[in-house]
Amino acid sequence: MKEERRRNRLSALLSMCYAFVCGEVDRVKPHRFSFERGYKSLKRFSFITLVGALGFGCVWPNLVYADRVDDLLQVLRTSQSRKVRVTALLGLTKFDDPRVTLALRKVLRSRKEHSLVRGFAALGLGRLKDVRALPALRKAAHVRSRSLRRQVRKAMRMLCPRRVKRRSVYLNFEKLKHSGPLSQFALELFVGKLIRHYQGKKGVVLSWPRCRRPKRWHLRRRRTKGFFVNINTKIKDLGGVTKCDIGIIMARYPNNSIKGFYSADAKGSASPSHHVIKLLVNALFQAHVQTIDQFIASRR
């Protein structure tokens, strides 16, 4: 009798743990009434199991972050179903990763892609506040598909302000270069961090009303000074040592006359990888931001 009761308790315990981990809460209730003794200790144990499962669920997304992005990018590239590709796009927009913005801009520029997928790519770029997508959005705003044009207009409203305050500074990030292994990833990461830094900064604008490319008279009308932020990223593999060199040329917009040049590099004792590149770019970012801030302050 005792042996049978012990087995019943163990079976109910395993079922309860499985239900907690898998999220099947309804399965837990029937097992709670199958215990005659030791119910309080079991209830305490099940609560600990629930807390552990929730903690594991919070940590697990960070552990598989890179794999999830890679899997979604693979689905976006290879799936034959446009609905599946749209689902992959929606999943990618939840990640703050340079590979995501690269993939979305590529989908938006592709004329072979279905207009539904291109439209969701435009919305994703708008939600991610990627002003580097403005040239592609301007071209997509004149396609034949009405649904695509509607989505592009929504994305533009997310990216561009209604008006620009007087005596602001306009920064343009269109002229970018890169060379070396994973250099495009490093460039996207660095420029993305710069854009996020200056999007909330007072007196600095990264886009113009109606998402048009401002001309000289637009800037004069608002008494605004414009500058190109020309960025060149070089990654070198020096036999087990990764060197990251980031150079910035500040030039007047729109005539591109050079006003300042800044360069910095960092090294890591490992072969080029996404993790190493992130560490090196983060090490160089703050120094470059301080230099650009000083340049902007001196030109006002």
Digit-coded pLDDT (tens) for 30-81:
333 333 344 344 344 343 333 343 343 433 444 345 578 889 999 999 999 9
pLDDT, position 1? 57
Q: Dihedral through CA 125, CA 255, CA 292, CA 165, nearest 10?
A: -70
**In a 3-state reduction of DSSP, which class is residue 144?**
coil
Q: What is the DSSP letter of 258?
A: E
Q: How far apart are CA 77 and CA 99, in angstroms?
A: 13
Q: How far apart are CA 169 and CA 278, in angstroms?
A: 29
pLDDT, position 38? 41
Residue in the block written with tokens 């008494």: 223
User: What burial class does residue 141 get, using C-beta atoms within 10 Å of its C-beta: 0-12 exposed, 13-18 middle, 19+ buried?
Assistant: middle
Q: What is the DSSP letter of 27?
A: G
Residue in the block written with tokens 């048009």: 212
Determine the distance from the C-alpha atom of residue 135 to the mean position of all C-alpha atoms in its chain, rounded to a whole number. Answer: 19
Q: What is the DSSP letter of 295?
A: H
Helix (H) or strand (E) holding 246, with range, is strand 242-252
Q: How far apart are CA 44 and CA 46, in angstroms?
A: 5
Residues of the chain with pLDDT under 70: 1-66
pTM over 0.85: no
Angle, CA 276 vertex, CA 282 and CA 286 arms, to 5°: 10
Q: How far apart are CA 235 and CA 254, in angstroms?
A: 29
Note whether 48 and 256 are within 8 A (CB).
Answer: no
